[in-house]
Amino acid sequence: MSLSWKTAFLSAWLVMGFWHAQMASASPPLAYLIEVEQIEQSLDSFEGALTPQVTEAPKRLQKLIEREPHSAPAYAAAAHYLLFVGYKDGWPGFGTNGADATTALLDAAQKADPDYCESFWLRAQLFIALKKVESAWQPIRRARSLACADPQIDVVAARISNAQDDAVAAERDFLKVLDRGPGPDSRSRSAFSTAATDYGSLLYALHRFDDLRRHIERWEKSGQVFAAWTNVNAARQLLLIGDFEHSQRLSQTTLTVLDLPAARMQRGIALYGLAWAAEISPRNPASVASTLSLARQYLPDESVAAKTLADAPCCQAPAWKTLLSRHMKT
Amino acid sequence: VLCSAGISCSRLSDSDYLQGYVDANNLIDSYKGRGEALEQAAQIVTELGDKRPDLPHSYVARARLGMYGIHVDRGWFAEFFGADDSPEYLLKEALSADPKFCDAQAYLGHVYYKQERYAESLQALDEAEQLSCSNEWRSVYRADAELIRQHFDQADTYLARVPAVDRSASESERNRYVRALGISINIAFWRGDRERMRQGIAQQLALISEGDAWGLANAASSQVQTGDFDDAIANARKALDLMEFGAAKESLGTALFGSWLWRNSHGQGNLEEDARIWSEAESFITFKDALQKLWISLANRDLAYRYLLQQRVEDDRAQQHSAGTGKSAK
């Protein structure tokens, strides 16, 4: 699983830890559990920045697996790493590609502890990634029967419903997570921001734009400024529905935290949108010029912005069509 | 010190010895950044060790002194002394003399925590739990260790065991409770519970001794987290009136930047006053160094504050960029 593949999926997936996980009957040593726990925290907080904690995670997990081969947490954390950070070469001894290695690691976790909570939602997530959506319900049902407290279970359940076009069930599960709030720990925050991302996408797909605006405002008030990819997705949705000013500010939030190329591009598109909107309904020409100048700093090629907006709900009026076609390169 | 207090200098009785230990600990607990208390404690501890080498207490007191000594001279646990003087060595010596000495076990857990050896810390604190002990620092230390693992509920449970005290309590008891309140404020911060943080800070301020510059600076730092910048400025100034030290300067500078941001993002700006505030803030800390604290402050949940903060970050970067370009042009 390549890093770029991961990046594409980060908006939809997020990470988990294991702090609610149930231990195997013979508990592994505390030092082992704490080390896995710390790695899980870094995976929960992963937003695309390859910090030393993230880059060193595979080596540390491999050692933990070798040290405690009959314990589930390190296997599950390794699967977590593969699913959310990416690893095109798989995992040594478990498979040479991401899907095979993740499956084998989750099998090993299940063998070590059949009731280990994290492995259930990770397996369901893997099924979604492999487009085996119907199979994804089984581990979620099992996790729920065990009353696993991991909030990612509701998030993944919502994703399965969403993938099966059951918007009502998906919305119910997303809201279950969002109504609980972000929580203080990395796992809860991760589940909260993942649910926020996916719920925004669902509202956008359903063309419930007013609900989407309200959802994004609520998200912003939650103060989860470090969830860069949730901001990236929200900023994209806002620019597509024509809330350019709000969108560019949200991208700016992301860029304050993490210099993501996607956020730079989106801020550029939103700024072009702002300037072009002012051209259509002229305001202050000086402001148009300075906005365009700023837009070019983020996205030099204005045709990219024009092409993005040409298909968006914001810009289907004839005046927009004419303006955008002028800015598109042939 | 003991001799001058009327205690026999030739051989100490058990009760005199224990009183000396209590006195030394009280002096260590009263340490607020000035060395006299530690010097006095060191004299007592040396005498205790010389006169009753058969008892473990002096090792514990020496270990505690060592922890502060490192703090003063080289930054908290940045490096250790030679092996024979390290707090870990001294505490293990104490435990070899009396394996059931709860103080030693609890402090050992704390030493491991400070060294980020969390598994060993928890094991030591678990062992301290098994011992008969009236020293509730062990609960404070355990709460620290639970907090770092994101086990917030457990941390709360241990904090609840720390006896709440009022101003009539001894300085040592107050210090312990102030410290417990500090952890509780931190938990409230992660939960985004500003009101609970404010209550905790008010309790801390009511308990700290007159002239406690550290206590005031800690309150100022927490008030930056809550976004109560004016209160933070007032407390940091009071702290600096008492003693000049880096943490208070940093909190004052950060709070001044925060106050500037809040005023200007809420239509309360005043050109002359703002220039003065900004310039004073820069005399304590650079905007770049203050940024992390300004960004994670709960004030950042306010969109107007956040947008202005982002704007300043962007301006700051642009300035640095143009300064860099200027240099290379030369």
User: Residue B39's pLDDT is what?
Assistant: 81
A268 min Cα distance to partner chain B (Å): 15
Amino acid sitting at position B312: R
Whether residues B149 and A181 touch (CB distance < 8 A) is answered with: no
Q: Which residues 6+ apart lie within 8 Å of A120 measured at CB?
A: A139, A140, A142, A143, A146, A148, A153
pLDDT band at B73; cut points 50, 70, 90: very low
From the CA of B303, how many Å to the nearest CA of chain A?
Answer: 8
**Which of A37, A223, A249 lies nearest to residue B149, judging by beta carbons?**
A37
CB contact A35 to B (< 8 Å): yes
The answer to whether A107 faces chain B, any CB pair under 8 Å, is no
Residue B322's pLDDT is what? 73
Tell me which residues of chain A, numbers 127 to 186, contact chain B at a CB-CB cutoff of 8 Å. 181-186
Nearest alpha carbon to residue A191 among A6, A48, A15: A15
Inform me whether the C-beta atom of residue A221 falls under 8 Å from chain B C-beta atoms: yes
Q: Which residues of B touch A35 (CB under 8 A)?
A: 119
pLDDT digits (tens, 9 = 90+) for B92-129: 999 999 999 999 999 999 999 988 999 999 999 999 99
Per-residue pLDDT at B313 exceeds 90: no
B67 or A211, higher pLDDT:
A211
Helix, strand, coil percentages, rounded to 5, for chain A? 70, 0, 30
- Give the model confidence (pLDDT) of B198-231 as tens digits: 999 999 999 998 889 999 999 999 999 999 999 9
- Transcribe B175-217 into DSSP letters: HHHHHHHHHHHHHHHHTT-HHHHHHHHHHHHHHSPTT-HHHHH
A23 has pLDDT over 50: no
* Residue A13 banded pLDDT, cuts 50, 70, 90: very low
Q: Which residues of A12-21 are buried (b: 16+ CB within 10 A; e: fewer)?
A: bbbbbbbbbb
Do the chains contact at A29 and B119, CB–CB below 8 Å? Answer: yes
Compute the distance between CA of residue B212 and CA of residue B210 in angstroms, rounded to an integer. Answer: 6
Among partner residues A186, A249, A256, which is closest to B150 by beta-carbon distance?
Answer: A186
Contact criterion met (CB < 8 Å) for A19 and B314: no
Question: Is A30 close to B295, i.e. CB distance below 8 A?
Answer: no
Inform me whether the pLDDT recorded for A3 exceeds 60.
no
Chain B residues whose beta carbon lies within 8 Å of the beta carbon of residue A267: none
Pick B310's closest partner by Cβ from A33, A37, A256. A256
Segment B227-254 shows an average pLDDT of: 97
| Band of pLDDT at residue A103, cut at 50, 70 and 90 | very high
Helices (H), A164-284: 167-180, 186-205, 209-221, 228-240, 244-257, 261-280
Q: How confident is residue B325, by pLDDT bands cut at 50, 70 and 90? A: low
Record the pTM: 0.85
Quick check: A253 and B310 CB within 8 A? Answer: yes
**pLDDT reported for residue A18:** 38
Residue B288 to residue B316: CA distance in whole angstroms: 8
Q: What is the ipTM of this complex?
A: 0.80
Residues in A closer than 8 angstroms to B151, CB to CB, are: 19
Whether residue A30 and residue B152 make contact (CB cut-off 8 A), yes or no, is no
Most confident of the ranges B58-62, B178-182, B265-269: B178-182
- Alpha-carbon gap, residue A84 to A54, rounded angstroms: 11
Pairwise CB contact (< 8 Å): A256 & B123: no
User: Which of A36, A64, A192, A225 should one mutate to test binding to chain B, selecting the residue with the greatest count of B CBs within 10 A?
Assistant: A225
Q: Cα(A115)–Cα(A117) distance, rounded to whole angstroms?
A: 6
Tell me how far apart the alpha carbons of residues A177 and A154 are, in angstroms, rounded to a whole number: 7
Chain A contact for B165, CB < 8 A?
no
pLDDT above 80: residue B282: yes
Minimum-distance CB partner of A184 among B122, B191, B295? B191
Q: For residue A252, which residues of chain B lie inside 8 Å, CB to CB? A: 307, 310, 314
Lowest mean pLDDT among A80-84, A112-116, B53-57: B53-57
A158-192 tens-digit pLDDT = 999 999 999 999 999 999 999 999 989 999 999 99
Q: What pLDDT does residue A12 have?
A: 36
pLDDT(A6) > 50? no
Q: Are B190 and A185 inside 8 Å of each other by CB? A: yes
Which of A248-262, A280-294, B22-36, B85-99 has the least mean pLDDT?
Answer: B22-36
> Are residues B152 and A253, on separate chains, in Cβ contact within 8 Å?
no
Residue of B nearest to A224 (CA): B301
Instruction: Report yes or no: A249 at the B interface, CB cutoff 8 Å.
Output: yes
Task: Choose the closest CB to B152 out of A184, A223, A225.
Answer: A184
For A105, the token pair is 């690691």
| Weakest mean pLDDT among A14-18, A52-56, B46-50, B271-275 | A14-18
Sign of torsion, CA B313 B316 B322 B323? negative
pLDDT in the model for residue B10: 57
Q: Vertex A150, ends A145 and A154: CA angle to 5°?
A: 75
Q: Is B119 on the interface with A (CB under 8 A)?
A: yes
Question: Euclidean distance between the first and final Cα of chain B, in Å?
Answer: 66
How sure is the predictor about B135, in pLDDT bands with cuts at 50, 70 and 90? confident
pLDDT at A73: 97
- pLDDT tens digit string along A132-155? 999 999 999 999 999 998 999 999
Measured distance between the N- and C-terminal CA atoms of chain A, rounded to whole angstroms:
35
B5 has a pLDDT exceeding 80:
no
Q: Is B81 on the interface with A (CB under 8 A)?
A: no
Q: Confidence band (pLDDT; 50, 70, 90) for B324?
A: low
pLDDT band at B65 (very low <50, low <70, confident <90, very high): confident
- In 3D space, the residue among B130, B145, B281, B322 whose CA is nearest the CA of residue A37 turns out to be B145
pLDDT at B150: 94
A41–B301 C-beta distance less than 8 A? no
* Chain A nearest C-alpha distance from B187 (Å): 8
Q: How far is A185 from chain B (nearest CA, A)?
A: 6
- A223 and B192 within 8 Å at the Cβ level: the answer is yes
Write the residue in A30, A38, A184 that is nearest to B122 by C-beta: A30
Cβ–Cβ gap B303/A220 under 8 Å: yes
Q: Which among A210-219, A274-283, B321-330 has the top mean pLDDT?
A: A210-219
What is the share, in percent, of chain A residues with pLDDT greater than 90?
A: 79
CB pairs under 8 A between A and B: 56
Tell me the residues of chain B between 186 and 225 that have a Cβ less than 8 Å away from chain A: 187, 190-192
Asked which of A314-318, B62-66, B163-167, B301-305 is least confident by mean pLDDT, the reply is B62-66
Is 50 exceeded by the pLDDT of residue B76? no
The pLDDT value recorded for residue B41 is: 86
